[in-house]
Chain A
């Protein structure tokens, strides 16, 4: 198993290298450049040229890439073109809120999706099944920005239960309760969205298991239906669901750009939008690299989880 993991990581390195080349090219192909995006309109052409020279933007692309790459290899992610802070510092400030928001959202999604998916499958074609598939359809099709705005209107403006946005009350003392209060709405909006598609995965996965012979064996032992479903069927149904969980992990890192924007959540999604707007190459590149690592890592974790969940799968 250990050997397998090492091998997978070694294979991942060239992939990461390729990803950095592609994203460097694409980021640089975007119209405009960092200097034009931030300098005030009164600046002269000479000022702009000077600034570009200072940032090294006049060098050929490959020179810029090699410079960036050698920085990365030395653990130096560079400084933001727009805020002049260290990129690592900016990201580490933002990653906590994003992990908190996305983690909560995914937990909510699973807490909703697994029981509903099971109920839906075990009572296939009942009114409950129709109700839950309709809700999951709604969850998939309503865009997050719409659901988010709706939630803000209902819960923040009409009923005034939750704040409209941010992570802490401005000027407040902060603390866990305050953050939690701010967290609920965006996490629910994201969570129900993810739950929408999850319900379908769980439902179809459980349905597939329900016809299996070993469930008849379990029933013939005199087990209660509750255990037949929640022990014997669920353990098997979870195996394909692991893939879907694996696909959700990169979300944790990437952040939900739209939801963070609507709720003014100070996470990576917001940082992404800001750095795209200002063509902040070092920050964008660092974010891309991080997303790529997250995807590769979650694929690896998924494969390892498979062998934990299904004893028939062994790697060596």
Chain B
């Protein structure tokens, strides 16, 4: 099947071919759902919220002018929708300050771990990150968003985004190191 970029499908939807929106949903549902699940910690509620995000995006498509990447715009809607829902429902957002960031070396090793084990450890470590850090890490490392794009998503300055991402990465390293130590201890 011929592959098209997001703009192709957006133009189709804008011209009245609503069913083309399903391509957009298929393409981004995992990222949107993962962020929603991270925030809500409940699969049913996260699925409901992810659906709401896509419906909101569909109704706002006319506002998308193409000045930024569609994915950045979509993630911005997702991020802000999730954050506003969290505030509305007064979910417990773990503060950035809850995790102590030590000034230690980033290096750690996966010696003796299989690829599958390594992936599972990293997935578990990502789940332990606070909601906003998780979103930034996924969008930057998984979705290849730039710092400037992340700044737009989180409505932060570029320098603040850099700091936030740096701190998120540090936290991920700390969590990973702790998990690796635990894994090694359990093997000994």
Please determine whether chains A and B interact with each other in the same assembly.
no
